A and B are shown apart, each in its own frame.
Chain A
Amino acid sequence: MTWRETLLTGWTAVRSHAMRSLLTILGILIGIAAVILTIGLGLGTQKDVSEQISALGSNLLIVTPGSSTDSEGMRGGFGSGATLTRSDAEALASDVNAPDVAGVAPEKMSSLSVETSETNWTTQVIGTTEDWTDVRARELALGEFFTAEDEADQAAVVVLGAETATELFGSPDAVGRSVTIEGTVFSVVGVLAEAGADSSSDLDDMAVIPLSTAANQVMGGTTRSSVSTIYLKAASEDVLSAAYQEAEAVLLNLHGITDADSADFSINSQDALVSTATSVYRTLTVLLTGIAALSLLVGGIGVMNIMLVSVTERTREIGLRKALGAPPWAIRRQFLVEASILGLAGGVIGAALGIVAAKVLPGVLGTSIVVLPAAVVGSIAIALVIGVVFGVYPAVRAARLAPIDALRSE
């Protein structure tokens, strides 16, 4: 019997019980669709996170107060101290101290109410310097960003996020209007272009004002010179680690700390943020993959079950074929091929279902799903292997049937 005939016979047997075959492969079908979606969702999320984080600005280093590297009881806690100051930012901006740092944007942040004559809106008020747009890779939709003069003059000017402007004025077109923050009247000089949301905050809901204005007129208090974050932009990706080391040396020196392990600040690159974010999704992916694997296992057992039924139903046929001279391997091959066809069919239909779901689901879930051709081919191969593996036992049983007993069975 040629391979072609064996395949044809197997296909005929599967097709002659179309409904039963379909129900049998349902487990594999769902499992394979889940595998493709899981891999696609994992990759898609990773892609989304990378995109969001690179939207923060390219070649970015983020300096925050406190140390997150100390595993023994985090002194001060991550981001809670007030150890970073304006002068730190000025020192980092120096071409002599940190030649590979191309841009510096200190941020002093507070959640405050922004008022107009008609309404008010609570948002993140950010005090920063004129380099902010460059470092954070933001663009203006309307108007202009404030200048170094505004910063020096403690000018009462504000640049609003697109969403903030819409909340306050009903449209992003807010240039020339004025708002009141903590009693000070600011005139709106610009509105930021939309940037979406990163993992922790809405990038379109903010009010950006000069750092000096923020420190002296809006936020005040005893920690006037402190800043909550300093963003650094490396001159290029190649010098990112050089910039990191320069920044660390400058700050350690300024803070009078000799041991880098006891630093009162920490510097993170985007890579670190990306890996933190993706590790969360990786856990999720592993979990989903486990579920997919389980349903594939159940599907495989389903195939084994139906193949055992098939062997029982066709005992007489097996007996006859053996009496006519079919060697045991030919019987084994016949049933293995049949189980493989079931597995393969489950894989192909499941993959098709997964691909369709990958097109439909992103619209519902709001996340990207990346379908890798390798994942599709790989999961179909997995389905085939499942068919073969779970077909072995029924096939061996069929091949072991004694022809006399098999012929006599009713």
Chain B
Amino acid sequence: MADLAGPTTAPTLGAPAHAREGEPRAAGRAADERGPVIELHAAGKTYRTGTVEFEALRGVDLAIHQGEYVAIMGPSGSGKSTLMNILGCLDVLTTGQYRLAGDDVGDLDEEDLAAIRNHQIGFVFQQFHLLPSLSAWRNVELPLTYRRVAPDERRARATAALERVGLGDRLANRPGELSGGQQQRVAVARALVGEPAMILADEPTGNLDSASTEDVLGLFDDLHAQGRTIVLITHELEVAERARRIVRVRDGLIQSDTLTSGVAA
């Protein structure tokens, strides 16, 4: 892992992704390096099932800046999954405002949201969500296939991303031929390959044993050291404590927002 640390191994560090790759329709100017990557103002989300209404978020204010490593914690039903969907542009707010990398995501249609997700967000899921029929590098290049990136360049970038997560020797392996920890590292490489404004990890260690968990969290530490913005959603304190800041959510509201020492466990 030591070889992953240090800015020299992050060739594209610092330059915002969409400044290089043709901007998505909704994306405007590049994010200010010191301005917040994420800004939520009085964010509310209400689900309707028939006549029953459920208020999952009741006015959340949250700002996350470039380079922060934030854990969002909360028990199930607290609204943290809703928050994750909102932050990931997989869902839109009922009330309030969400600015991602300076752009208001509020009134975008499905196509523009897809472009925002593609350029600004790198997802890491609990279930890995790798396509079983594709090799590791084919999985990693997926976000780039929805941009105008030439196949040769996609392959080069996917290879670089896999090397960065320490899987340079597993390029052609399919997910079924990799361990859980390796699969999740492929997923992290996929999240990195598009140079997004933030990495959004939803319970990334939920399906991993403790060795693999340590493996993946170590990888996040490295990425954080390289200046990546990471938002990690979890219900495990042990995992959350690896972040520099813990936001606790309960009943659709932010209960606490504390900085941690960030000392590795």
Contacts and interface: CB of A to CB of B under 8 A. Distances in A.
A327 B114 contact: yes
A1 B115 CA distance: 14
B136 to A, nearest CB: 15
B133 A325 contact: no
Per DSSP, are chain A's interface residues mostly helix, strand or loop, or mixed?
helix
Contact of B119 (A321, A322, A325, A329): A325
A326 B146 contact: yes
Contact of A325 (B85, B131, B143, B151): B143
A12 B138 CA distance: 14
Contact of A316 (B129, B133, B145): B129
A32 to B, nearest CB: 30
A324 B37 CA distance: 19
A18 B143 CA distance: 28
The B interface is mostly helix, strand or loop, or mixed, namely helix
B118 A325 contact: yes
Given A2-B151, A404-B85, A407-B129, A325 B117 contact: yes
B115 A325 contact: yes
A317 interface: yes
Interface in B88-143: 88, 90-91, 110-111, 114-115, 117-119, 123, 125, 129, 131, 133, 142-143
Given A2-B151, A317-B131, A403 B90 contact: yes
A327 B85 contact: no
A323 B194 CA distance: 13
A382 interface: no
Interface residues of B, number: 24
Contacts of A324: 117-118, 123, 142-143, 146, 190
Nearest to A324: B143
A263 to B, nearest CB: 76
Contacts of A117: none
B145 A5 contact: yes
B103 to A, nearest CB: 15
Given A12-B133, A330-B146, A404-B91, A323 B117 contact: yes
A407 B119 CA distance: 19
Interface in B211-228: none
A357 B143 CA distance: 48
Given A317-B131, A407-B125, A323 B88 contact: yes
Interface of B: 85, 88, 90-91, 110-111, 114-115, 117-119, 123, 125, 129, 131, 133, 142-143, 145-147, 151, 190, 194
Given A12-B133, A327-B146, A407-B125, 20 more contacts: A1-B145, A320-B129, A322-B114, A323-B90, A323-B117, A324-B117, A324-B118, A324-B142, A324-B143, A324-B146, A324-B190, A325-B117, A325-B146, A325-B147, A326-B146, A328-B111, A330-B146, A403-B90, A404-B91, A407-B129
